[in-house]
Structure 1
Amino acid sequence: MSDRETWATRVGFLVAAIGSAVGLGNLWQFPFKTASNGGAAFVVFYLIAVLLIGFPAMLAEFVVGRRTHRNAVDAFTDLGHRSWRIIGALGIFTGFWILSYYNVVGGWVIRYIVGSARGAYFADPATYFGAVSAGPEAVLAQALFLGIVVGIVALGIEDGIEKATKLMVPSIAVLMIALAIWATTLDGAGAGYSYFLSPNLDAIMANALDVIPFAVGQAFFTLSLGMAIMITYSSYIGEDDNLPVDGGVIVVTNTLIGVLAGLIVFPILFANNIDPALEGGPGALFVATASGFGSLPLGRVVGVVFFGIVLIAALSSAISLLEVVVAYANDNYAISRPKLAAGIGVGLFLLGLPSALDTDWLTWFDTFAYKLFLPLSVLFLVVFVGWVLGGDAVAELREGTGGLGAFGPIWLWTLRIVVLVGVLGTLALGVQTLFLGENPAAFAPF
C-alpha cells in the first residue's frame, strides 16, 4: 500500500469538493428539472431538500472519511464494522457506473464547443445533436474527455486534482456571472426570471407529492452524494477542519451555481420563445439551448463560453468520480497512481461504449443510477452513521469546531428521521418507476 496523499490546503479540499458538486448535473439538470416540475415551485422544494436532507447526508460522508483517512470501502473496516463495507463498495460501483456515460456527455460538450465556434448547429440543432451524440465520432470524443480526466487524476491529489480544481472552480464562477449579467439584456429576461424565481403557492400545494421526491433526488445528484466522493475527499483532510462550516460552504456555493445556471438558461429560452418544459431525453437539453444561441447576437461567442463553462464543470466532477476508484486501488495495491488511473480509464471507456454508440443505452445507464443506485447508497450510509455510529459520529463532527452545542444531536436526529424518510421515499418512487412501469416525470438527470 502506498503512502497516502493529503490536500495541501483547506481551500484545496473545498474547491475540489465544490468542483465535484458543480458538474453537468448542476449546470444542465437543475434548470431543466426546474422546467419540467413547475418552475419556481420546484426550486422551493429543492432548497428545502438541500438544507434538510442533502447537507446532513454530506456531513455523514465527511464523518466516515475523516475519522478513518481511508478509501470508501476500507473506512468501514477501520471503524470496526467490516460487514458494512457494502456501503463503500456500492458507492464506488455507482460512481464508476455514472462516470462511464458521464464521459460520453463530456464528449458531446467538446463537440458543442467546436460546433459553436463554427456555427455548425445553428441551422438545425436537432439534426446536429443526432450527428454528434452517437457513433464513431462520439466514441472518439468520449476518449478525449476521459483522457483529460485520467491525466489529471494520475498527477495525484495535490499536483493534479487540487491544482486543477483551484483553476476550474473560480473560472466557472467568473464566466457564469458574466453570462448571467449578459442575460439581463435579453428581451425575454423578465419572463424567464419570473418563471424561475416566482413560486406559485397553489402550484406548490397541488404538486407537492409529485415534486418532492424529484427535489430530493436532485439534491443527492448535485451534491455528489451516494457515489463515495465526499467520503474519499474528506479522507485526505485533517482533524482541525471544521466539517459543518466546510459542508455549508460547499452546499451554498453549489446552490448559487445552480441558481446562476437558471438565470442564464431561462432568459435565453424565453427570449427565443422556446418552451422550457421540453422532453425528449438527453438531447433535449443540448438542442433547446443551442436553438437559443443560434438566434442571438454574438451567438457563436456566447455558445463557446457557455459550453466552455459546462466542459470545465464536467471535468471537475469527472475527476472526483475517477478518484474514488483510484483511491481504493491505491490504498490496496502496490501499483503506481498513473498506472491505476490509466487502467481504470480503459475499463470506463469499454463500459461507456454502448452509451457512445446509442443514446438509448445512455438513458438506460442513467435511469438505473439515478433511481436505484444513488438513493440506495445514501440510504445505507444514513442508517450506518445515524444508528450504528451514533454518538461516535457526533464526536467526530465536533473535531475542529470548538464544540457544536446542540447542533450535534440535532444533526444526528435529523439524519435518523428526516433524511431517512426522505431517502426511503425517493428510493420507493425510483423502484416503482423502474420495475412497475409507472411514468417517472423528468426523473433522469440529463
Structure 2
Amino acid sequence: MTQQNSSDREHFGSRLGFVLAAAGAAVGLGNIWGFPTQAASNGGGAFLLVYLVMILVVAFPMLVVEMAIGRAGQANPVDSMRSLTSNPVAKKAGALVGWIGLSVPCAVLAFYSIVGGWLICFMLGAMTDILGMESATAWFKGFSVERNLFGTLVFYVLTVLIVQGGVKQGIEKWSTRLMPALFILFGLLFVYIMTQSGAMEGLKHYLVPDFEKVFDRKLILAAMGQGFFSLTIGGCSMLIYGSYLSKKENLPKMAMNVTLVDTAVAFIAGLVVMPAMYVAMQKGVQIYAEDGSLLSSDTLVFTVLPLMFDSLGLLGQIFSIAFFLLLTIAALTSSISMLECPVSLVGERFNTKRGPTSWVLGGIIALFSIVIVYNFGEMFGLVAMIATQYLQPIAALLFCIFGGWVWNRNAKIKELEQGCPEFSQGLFGKLWPVYVKFVCPLLVATVIWASFG
C-alpha cells in the first residue's frame, strides 16, 4: 500500500547531507555525556581502545543491516520490515518487529527531551548569569517542576519545527549546519581546556591505555553496549534515514562514513570532558570516590563541568554557554530523527500533511514527557531504563534476526550491490551475510544478558 509513493519519495539531496544527518541522529548525549563518563569509569585509554574495536566488530555490520532494510523497503519501519518477505506469516511478524522498533524512538524521546530541556535551561542560565540577572539564573539552574516543564516544551518546539520542514528542507538543512557547529565548538573548548592546569594529566589518562584492563569482562561489555547505543542500533533512526537514501549510493561506504563521524564525536567529547574533569579536580572539585569510582556519573555534565566553568570567571561563563549550546545541538540532531520515525509512518499510511502530523505526534509524546516531569522521581529513571536497556537492544536483536534469517540472502546482496556492484567480491561482502546471521545476534544477546545481570 505504501509502494506507490516510493518513486516520488523524498531523498537526501547530497551525500554529505545524509552522512551528517545520520551521524547527527547517532550523535547525541550518549556520545558527549555517556561516552566520557563510561571512559572515566572504566580506565580511560583501555576503554577507548576496546570501544573502537567494538564499533567495527559489532555496531558497523548492524548499521549496514538497518540502513539496508530501510533502503530496500523505501518506507517507514513497519512497512519496510513487511516488504522483506513474501510469506504472509513472516510479513505479520515483520510488521510486529517494525512496531516494536517504532516504540523505541517514541519512548526514548519521552525522557530525552527532558534532558534536552535541562541543557537549554543551563545555557539560558549561563546567559542570564553574565547579564547579572541573579533570580533568573537561580531559576534556570534550579531543579523545579516549572523549569523542567519550560525546558522540555522549548525542546519539543525546536524538534517539531525542524521535522515539519521535511527531509531536505528540515532535517538535512539543519544537520548540515548543526553538525559542523558541533565540531567547531568542540575544537574551541578543547584548546581552551588544555591551557588549564591539570588538563595534561586527564589527557594522558584518556589516551594511554592500561593494557591490564583491556580484557576486563565488565569493561568489554560496557564498551560493547556503549558502541551499540552510540550508533542508535535498534532505534529505527538509521532504518528511516536509510529509506531516504538513493539507490545509487554505495550503502556500506555511507554506513562507514556515519560510523566514523559518530565515533569521532565520541572521541573528541572524551578529549574535552576527561581533561576538564582533571582541571576541576585541581580546583578542588571532588570527582572520584575513595574506591576510584566516579561520583555522580549520571550528572557529570550538570555538576562537575559547570563548577569548573564557574571557577574561571567571565571567560568560563562564555564557555559554559558554548558547551551547553553544543549539547543542545547534539540532543536536537538526535531528537529530530526520533520524531521522524512516527511522523513518516502516519504520513505514509494516512497520506497526511507533514506539518500538522509533526505537531500532533510531537504533542502526544510531549504529553507523556509532561507526565514524567510531574512524577520525576518515580518515572524518569524507569522510562530511561525500559527504553535503553530493554526495548532498544530487543528491537536491535529482532532487526538482526529478521535481516539475517528472514530476508533472503540474494535479495540482501542485490540491495547492497545497487550503488556498490563489487560488494559480493570483497571480503566484507563475503563475510557480512554470515556474520549478520550468526555473530551479530549472539553479540546483541550478550549485551541484553549483561543488562539483566
TM exceeds 0.5?
A: yes
Q: CA deviation at 1:304?
A: 0.6
Aligned to 1:209: 217
What corresponds to 1:26 in structure 2? 31
Q: Distance in 2 between matches of 1:351 and 1:279?
A: 30
**Structure 1 398/94 Cα, relative in aligned 2: closer, same or farther at 3 Å?**
same
Residue by residue, what CA displacement relative to the aligned partner does 1:143-195 show, whole Å, maximum 9, x if unpaired? Answer: 01101101110111111111111111111111111211222212112111111
- Write the mapping of 1:30-109 to structure 2, written as runs, cut at 5 A: 30-80=35-85, 81-82=90-91, 83-109=93-119
Aligned equivalents of 1:215, 1:418: Cα separation in 2: 17
CA contact (8 A) 2:29 2:327 kept: yes
Give the secondary structure class of the aligned counterpart of 1:233: helix
Aligned to 1:245: 253
The correspondence of residues 307-326 of structure 1 with structure 2, limited to 5 A, is: 307-326=324-343
2:18 partner amino acid: F
CA contact (8 A) 1:282 1:363 kept: no
Residue matched to 1:150:
160
Equivalent pair of 1:398/1:408 in contact (CA under 8 Å): no
Q: Mean alpha-carbon deviation: is it higher for 359-368 or for 220-229? A: 359-368
Check if 1:165 corresponds to 2:175. yes
Are 1:218 and 2:226 counterparts?
yes
Could you tell me which residue of structure 1 aligns to residue 421 of structure 2? Answer: 402
Asked if structure 2 preserves the Cα contact closer than 8 Å seen for 1:65 and 1:233, the reply is yes
The aligned counterpart of 1:135 is 145
What's the counterpart of residue 275 of structure 1? 287
- Does 152-161 or 130-139 show the bigger shift? 130-139
SS in 1 for 2:224: helix
Contact 1:183 / 1:263 at 8 angstroms: preserved in 2?
no
The more displaced of 242-251 and 36-45 is 36-45
Alpha-carbon separation, structure 2, partners of 1:179 and 1:428? 38
Post-superposition offset of 1:114 = 1.5
1:55-87 Cα offsets, whole Å, 9 max, x none, are 000000111011110110001222224122222
Give the whole-Å Cα distance in 2 for the aligned partners of 1:342 and 1:184: 43
Corresponding residue for residue 422 of structure 1: 443
What secondary structure does 1:79 align onto?
Answer: coil
Q: Could you tell me which runs of 5 or more consecutive residues in structure 1 were left unpaired when the two chains were aligned.
A: 433-446
Q: Does 1:350 align with 2:350?
A: no
Are the counterparts in 1 of residues 104 and 235 from structure 2 also a CA contact under 8 Å?
yes
2:217 and 2:78 map into 1 onto residues whose CA distance is: 35
Contact 2:120-2:328 within 8 A present in 1 as well: yes
Looking at structure 2, the residues matched to 165 and 359 of structure 1 have their Cα atoms a distance apart, in angstroms, of: 34
Which residue of the partner structure matches residue 374 of structure 1? 392
Does the Cα contact within 8 Å between 2:37 and 2:300 map onto a contact in 1? no
Which position in structure 2 is the counterpart of 1:292? 308
Of the structure 1 ranges 375-384 and 216-225, higher mean CA displacement relative to structure 2 is found in: 216-225
Partner-residue secondary structure (3-state), 1:401: coil
Structure 1 250/58 Cα, relative in aligned 2: closer, same or farther at 3 Å? same
Could you tell me the TM-score, scaled by structure 2's length?
A: 0.89
Does structure 1 retain, via aligned residues, the 8 Å contact 2:84–2:406? no
Alignment partners' CA distance in 2, 1:339 and 1:219? 35
- 2:214 aligned counterpart, secondary structure: helix
1:385 is matched with which residue? 403
Q: Distance in 2 between matches of 1:11 and 1:40?
A: 31
> What's the TM-score once normalised by structure 1's chain length?
0.91
Unmatched tracts of structure 2, length 5 or more:
none
Instruction: Find the aligned partners of 2:417 and 2:191 in 1 and give their Cα distance.
Output: 40
Cα distance in 2 for partners of 1:86, 1:156 equals 26
**Is 1:174–2:184 an aligned residue pair?**
yes
Structure-1 residue corresponding to 2:351: 334
Q: Does 1:257 align with 2:293?
A: no
CA distance in 2, matches of 1:85, 1:60: 17
Q: Kindly state the Cα deviation for residue 394 of structure 1 after the two structures are TM-superposed.
A: 2.2
Deviations 1:376-425 (A, max 9, x none): 11111111111222332222122211312232121222222332221111
Is the contact between residue 71 and residue 235 of structure 1 (CA under 8 Å) also seen in structure 2?
yes
Aligned residue pairs, count? 425
Q: 1:140 to 1:89 in 2, by over 3 A?
A: same
Change (3 A) 1:88 1:132: farther
Equivalent residue letter for 1:289:
L
Deviates more, 1:311-320 or 1:286-295: 286-295
Given that residues 354 and 362 in structure 1 are in contact (C-alpha distance below 8 angstroms), is that contact kept between their aligned partners in structure 2? Answer: no
* Alpha-carbon offset, residue 38 of structure 1: 2.3
Indicate the SS of the match to 2:66.
helix
Please give the alpha-carbon distance, in whole angstroms, between the structure 2 residues aligned to 1:56 and 1:106: 30
* Cα-to-partner distance string for 1:176-225 (whole Å, 9 max, x where unaligned): 112112222121121111111111111223xx211222212211211121
Measured in 1, the distance between the counterparts of 2:311 and 2:147 equals 27
In structure 2, the partner of 1:440 is none
- Sequence identity, in percent? 29
Q: Which residue of 2 aligns with 1:442?
A: none
In the alignment, the residues of structure 2 paired with residue 359 and residue 294 of structure 1 have an alpha-carbon distance, to the nearest angstrom, of 28
- 8 Å CA contact 2:280, 2:304 repeated in 1: no
